[in-house]
């Protein structure tokens, strides 16, 4: 899966139906003059309809919003919405009713025929536009997050914070957020995506708070340890910042280490495909999250094989942090694992046509 920005414009959307329903619920008892069993506190007594009322359920509907607004405007002397002018055009009724079309005036018939001829000539189907709104919709949603993507991941949180603060408008206690909201403005995405992924990978026995604590130990270690020295043999991701910048951007440090050793492919063993019960090795491309997951699991494996020099609860987290530093400095054995996978994938690339051959 591509690391595309989350296509989310509004953090919350007013649920219209729910709102009207609750309004009905709140007002109906008073409108009907009924008392419900729960309200009277007599559970044995069933509710009875008041005498002389023959209405069934849903007969006392609320007025339409625009009707209500029109009435209100009439009272206050203003100009409300035009209800009468919004009737259904006769052409639409005639389209539905072929019997009525036969008896329609000739001028109407001619006009309708002309319109249908024009639409057939232009080749547009009914209910479609000649232009795409998709591109425009994507444009509005992607552009702010695209501008965010080329800034440091470490200051993302501050950017979203700043973008959510605008000038106070009259009548609002707190400043309104600018829309569309940033990629991390949702309440459920509190942490950086890499941090979230790594925290969940560190977690054992479902102890998330412990994992978060370990995560903070790792980041503190990256902050306080001396800046790494890049190795020439192992090239990191292109565009990596100077090594001296990393300690002050611990999340960038972590992301750089993980993304640099992340494998591009994995080997899928297709059983029996090579003939004679031998598995055929087929390289499969990986998505960003999968790549990061595999890379960090390798780092965890390497960290667990390190010797714990201290004692106490932060031992493992410290070893993981040391391994991350080792990855960036090119000392870690994780690089070998990545190279091995890539080598195998290169030799096995002739098997990529396996599916096509079978057909």
Q: Which residues bind other proteins (CB under 8 A)?
A: 154-155, 157-158, 161-162, 165, 191-192, 195, 212, 215-216, 219-220, 223-227, 247-249, 251, 307, 309-312, 314
Among the listed residues 130, 119, 124, 65, the one whose alpha carbon sits nearest the alpha carbon of residue 91: 119
- Take residue 340 and report the two structure tokens written for it: 């091995």
**Residue 48 CB, nearest distance to other proteins (Å)?**
52
**Residue 209 CB, nearest distance to other proteins (Å)?**
10
Beta carbon nearer to other proteins, 80 or 315: 315
89 within 8 A of 112, measured Cβ to Cβ: no
- Paired residues of 265 in beta bridges: 285
265 within 8 A of 343, measured Cβ to Cβ: no
Beta carbon nearer to other proteins, 77 or 310: 310
Chain-centroid distance, C-alpha 87: 40
Chain-centroid distance, C-alpha 158: 20
Beta carbon nearer to other proteins, 66 or 200: 200
**Residue 248 CB, nearest distance to other proteins (Å)?**
5
Q: Of all helices (H) and strands (E), which one includes residue 253?
A: helix 250-261
* Cα 298 to Cα 6: distance, rounded to the nearest angstrom: 28
* Cα 168 to Cα 177: distance, rounded to the nearest angstrom: 10
Beta carbon nearer to other proteins, 81 or 177: 177
The torsion angles phi and psi of 269, rounded to 5 degrees, stand at -90, 110
Among the listed residues 285, 289, 267, the one whose alpha carbon sits nearest the alpha carbon of residue 341: 267
What is the Cα gyration radius of the chain?
33
Beta carbon nearer to other proteins, 40 or 224: 224
Beta carbon nearer to other proteins, 84 or 188: 188
**Residue 189 CB, nearest distance to other proteins (Å)?**
12
217 within 8 A of 319, measured Cβ to Cβ: no
Beta carbon nearer to other proteins, 199 or 332: 199
Residues with Cβ within 8 Å of residue 90, at least 6 apart in sequence: 104, 108
**Residue 32 CB, nearest distance to other proteins (Å)?**
45
Beta carbon nearer to other proteins, 254 or 345: 254
183 within 8 A of 148, measured Cβ to Cβ: yes
* Cα 94 to Cα 101: distance, rounded to the nearest angstrom: 5
């Amino acid at each position: 899966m591509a690391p595309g920005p989350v296509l989310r414009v509004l953090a919350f959307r007013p649920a219209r139906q729910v709102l009207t329903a609750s309004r009905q619920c709140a007002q109906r008892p008073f409108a009907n003059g009924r008392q419900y069993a729960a309200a009277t506190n007599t559970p044995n007594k069933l509710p009875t309809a008041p005498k002389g009322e023959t209405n069934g359920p849903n007969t006392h509907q609320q007025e339409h919003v625009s009707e209500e607004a029109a009435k209100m405007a009439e009272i206050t002397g203003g100009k409300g919405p035009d209800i009468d002018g919004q009737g259904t055009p006769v052409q639409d009724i005639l389209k539905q009713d072929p019997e009525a079309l036969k008896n329609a005036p000739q001028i109407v018939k001619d006009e309708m025929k002309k319109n249908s001829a024009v639409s057939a000539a232009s080749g547009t189907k009914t209910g479609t536009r000649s232009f795409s709104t998709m591109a425009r919709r994507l444009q509005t949603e992607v552009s702010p997050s695209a501008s965010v993507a080329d800034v440091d991941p470490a200051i993302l949180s501050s950017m979203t914070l700043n973008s959510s603060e605008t000038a106070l408008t009259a009548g609002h206690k707190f400043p309104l957020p600018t829309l569309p909201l940033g990629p991390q403005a949702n309440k459920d995405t509190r942490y950086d995506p890499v941090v979230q992924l790594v925290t969940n990978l560190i977690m054992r026995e479902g102890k998330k708070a412990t994992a978060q604590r370990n995560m903070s130990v790792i980041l503190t270690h990256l902050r306080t340890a001396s800046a790494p020295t890049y190795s020439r043999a192992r090239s990191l991701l292109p565009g990596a910042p100077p090594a001296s910048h990393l300690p002050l951007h611990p999340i960038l440090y972590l992301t750089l280490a993980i993304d640099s050793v992340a494998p591009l492919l994995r080997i899928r063993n297709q059983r029996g495909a090579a003939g004679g019960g031998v598995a055929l090795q087929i390289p499969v491309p990986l998505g960003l999250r999968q790549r990061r997951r595999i890379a960090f699991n390798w780092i965890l494996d390497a960290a667990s094989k390190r010797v714990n020099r201290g004692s106490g609860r932060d031992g493992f987290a410290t070893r993981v942090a040391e391994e991350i530093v080792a990855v960036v400095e090119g000392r870690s054995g994780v690089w070998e694992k990545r190279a091995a996978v890539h080598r195998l994938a290169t030799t096995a690339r002739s098997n990529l046509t396996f599916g096509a051959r079978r057909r």
